[in-house]
């Protein structure tokens, strides 16, 4: 009887091992199948964001990308956009950790003088629906909301904080924390962009 129980136990362990092995192999195979399409989709999203935020260019900004670490684990990415060899703008993949739910990632495009050409929201974990508000709020078509706009404004010449904090930019209605985070990401990108410009890190020719 004891031998039978032992045999049954061994069989159960063997079956469990085989099931685990097959499941692991299946997950590994699925990861390999989806890894490249996911990476390609992320790259396409990034390239589209670059095109959206800087003036027309005819180089490949990804070939001239440079990166700057801003803390122990996060990095800003800078994509110089050039037209016939002349710098027309730089797209910066930037972030903040001060969002209501953590990280907010943006792509912001600066003209050579540091003013903002456009921006795109890449990723966030804020309140559902806030992403679409964030994507439109800071570039309003309504002239009455010009104080909410960051387009063509220079973070070095204005107080790029929300008006509630004494700044020059109107926050998204009922979303002050997310608005602060958004502007923080823009300011971080601007500070590093201008620092690199002063160092002569990106040529206009």
Backbone angles phi, psi at 4, to 5 degrees: -65, -45
Whole-angstrom distance, CA of residue 169 vs CA of residue 84: 35
Q: Specify which residues 63 forms β-bridges with.
A: none
pLDDT digits (tens, 9 = 90+) for 39-77: 677 777 778 889 999 999 999 999 999 999 988 789 999
- Whole-number pLDDT of residue 164: 95
Which segment of 63-77, 83-97, 118-132 scores lowest on mean pLDDT? 118-132
- Whole-number pLDDT of residue 71: 83
- Whole-number pLDDT of residue 103: 87
Whole-angstrom distance, CA of residue 40 vs CA of residue 46: 10
Dihedral sign computed on CA atoms, order 87, 188, 74, 170 = negative
Q: Is it the case that residue 4 has pLDDT exceeding 60?
A: no
pTM over 0.85: no
pLDDT digits (tens, 9 = 90+) for 15-46: 887 888 787 777 777 766 676 777 677 777 77
What is the rounded average pLDDT of the residues 3-10? 64
- Whole-number pLDDT of residue 125: 77
Domain boundaries, the chain: 1-52, 54-198
């Amino acid at each position: 009887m004891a031998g039978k129980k032992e045999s049954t136990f061994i069989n159960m362990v063997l079956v469990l091992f085989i099931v685990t092995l097959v499941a692991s192999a299946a997950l590994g195979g699925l990861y390999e199948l989806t890894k490249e399409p996911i990476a390609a989709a992320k790259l396409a999203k990034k390239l589209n964001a670059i095109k959206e935020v800087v003036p027309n260019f005819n180089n490949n900004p990804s070939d001239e990308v440079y990166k700057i670490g801003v803390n122990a684990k996060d990095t800003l990415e800078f994509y110089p956009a050039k037209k016939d060899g002349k710098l027309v703008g730089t797209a910066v993949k930037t972030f903040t950790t001060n969002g209501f739910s953590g990280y907010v990632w943006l792509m912001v495009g600066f003209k050579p003088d540091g003013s903002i050409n456009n921006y795109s929201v890449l990723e966030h974990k804020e309140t559902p629906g806030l992403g679409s508000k964030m994507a439109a709020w800071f570039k309003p078509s309504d002239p009455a909301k010009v104080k909410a706009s960051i387009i063509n404004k220079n973070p070095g010449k204005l107080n790029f904080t929300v008006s509630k904090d004494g700044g020059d930019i109107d926050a998204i209605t009922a979303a002050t924390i997310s608005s602060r985070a958004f502007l923080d990401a823009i300011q971080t990108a601007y500070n590093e962009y201008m620092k690199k410009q002063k160092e002569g890190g990106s040529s206009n020719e």
